[in-house]
Structure 1
Amino acid sequence: AESGMNMARIAALRAGLPDSVPGVTINRFCSSGLQAIAMAAERIRSGGAEIMLAGGSESMSLLPMSGNKFAPNPWLVDHIPQIYMGMGLTAEQLYQKYKISREEQDQFSYRSHKNALEAQAAGKFDEEIVPLEIKTT
């Protein structure tokens, strides 16, 4: 329950959408939102839907396997320990395999965010990012 139950369904209902509108929660940690958007796009392209609403959220503080109160599954630790590799160790692996330094990774991240902000300000995402008005009670 602490990881949000069916967060997408709850969000849809709290937004005032009718019970007939389905909701699905996807858990892929850092890429959950991106996965939701990809699945929504696939559904539209295949003709399964005309309109989809997709997004993501994350609260690492409430997850015992990877949050601030690390409590790993003993079987996984014994059999598949690499499953617990976080983003910091992933960055180290990038350096080891591709010789991409921390500074280069930080510079790439900065440029990526800067480019995204500039593209958004220039209207390049106007047909992809739409405002969503939320009713407050």
Structure 2
Amino acid sequence: MAYTVGEELPALNVRVTRERLVRYAGASLDFNPIHWNERFAKDVGLPDVIAHGMLTMALGGRLVTDWLGDPSRLLEYGVRFTRPVVVPDDEEGALVEFTGKVGEVREDGTARVDITAKFAGKTVLGKATAVVR
């Protein structure tokens, strides 16, 4: 696969629900009450229950691996967490929108993909980049 600077990845929109948070907590063994207990989350200064940062990060990785078709072609991936994804207690949950674009093609045939993750119009992952082959 040849990469082109500016090439856009197909967008990925994910609804993060409380059910998804429970499932992720079970898989990751991260049972921090800020991810499931509204009263606790508010007591520590959060607006409500928030999604696991690593869940949000994983969904950004899914944007890239879906595009690649082969997860083994993802060589590096890193993000900074900039703001939480607040997950309401309803059926719709929180809509997180992921987009990506090839930002650099390197001489060795690898490429850097710049990823944007937004919730409620605001970026939730900063400096989200992946290196792919």
- The two structures have a TM-score, normalised by structure 1, of 0.25
- The two structures have a TM-score, normalised by structure 2, of 0.26
Flag the structure with more relative contact order, 1 or 2, with Cα contacts below 8 A and sequence separation at least 6.
Answer: 2
Point out the structure with max Rg over C-alpha. 1
